[in-house]
Every structure is written in structure tokens, then in C-alpha cells.
Structure 1
Amino acid sequence: MAIHPDVSDTEDSDESDTEDSDESDNDESIRNKKQYSMYLDEELQEELDDIFKKFNARRKLNDEPHVEKNRHFHQGLIEAALLDADWEDYVERRFEKTSE
């Protein structure tokens, strides 16, 4: 699955997108990924950024390595959403909400 959402961080980048990455891992290199832009409501962007920061804060407290936003977090989140059997219901509700 080659999903690489491009959701820009508007405020503090505090190491959220970049961390020393292993360029020798060609399968995970950003050069081998296709950019995929997503247009999200500001509220959803803020919630997504907040969840990402809290996720990494918990990892830091547990002495676990930092997760990169695009390389790990967005990919994992999208994959999890696609595996959810109810994803179509979420899309339908969103459509109905914005069609009013």
C-alpha cells in the first residue's frame, strides 16, 4: 500500500516530521513513495496533530523510539481505517453531513 498523505504542520514542527531516518532502508525511503494530498477540515487536522503528538509523548514516556508523522503514523492510521468494516458508514455519514 503506497499511501503518503501530505498534511502540512502549520505550527510547531518540533521534530514531528523529521527524525534521523535510515536511508539504507530503500523500501521505506520517501523517495520510493508517491505523494498523496488530502484536504481536511481544520478541526480534523488539529485533532490529527494532537493525536500524533500524544502518541509520541506516550512513546517517549515508555522510552520507545519516536514515530515519524508521514512515514509511520499517517500510513498506519489509513491502513487501520481501511481495515475497519464500517469505513463505508463513515463515508456515508460524512457525505450526508456535508450535503445538507
Structure 2
Amino acid sequence: DIKSRFAEDIRKEVRQEVLLEGIRQGRQEGRQEGRQEGLLEGEAKGEAKLLLRMLPRRFGALPKEITARIHRADQNTIEIWADRVLDAKSLDDVFSG
């Protein structure tokens, strides 16, 4: 009958709208997460770059192992090392602990 077909059409339309809204929200969340991840990665690279500039000025040429270690480190570790640079007497003081 016409009422049931109309009701079914409405249900299908509502389901489709809900699905499309879910897709839109998912895309928006994905973009936001991507931007946030990019910002964090950029911060970590910037901090690593700064550390790679500070250390040679304080201690002379860096061994390749130290440079590689800095490039592999996460942002939190780099921040710890950067905090130690001012008081450190040697590279070992920066990277030990």
C-alpha cells in the first residue's frame, strides 16, 4: 500500500542521510587528527634541529651515533636532553640517565 511504501522511502532517506553525516564527520575528524599529528611531528623536528645546533656549539663536533640517536628520539626525550644541555659538562651528561 502507498502509506507503507512512503514510510519505507522515508526510512531509507533517513538512513542515507545518517550514513552521509557519519562519513562527513569521519572525514572531518581524520583531517583534524592529521593536522594535529603534523603539528606534533613538526615540533619534534624543530626541537631536534635546535638540539643539533646547540650541542656542537657547546661540545664541538658530534659523533654520528649521537646525531642518529637524536633523529630517532621522540619529542619527550629530545626535550629532556635539551634541558640538560645548559648544565652538562660533557655529551655523556646530556645523554645519560
TM-score (norm 1): 0.29
Higher relative contact order (CA 8 A, sep 6+): 1
More helix by share: 2
Greater radius of gyration (CA): 2
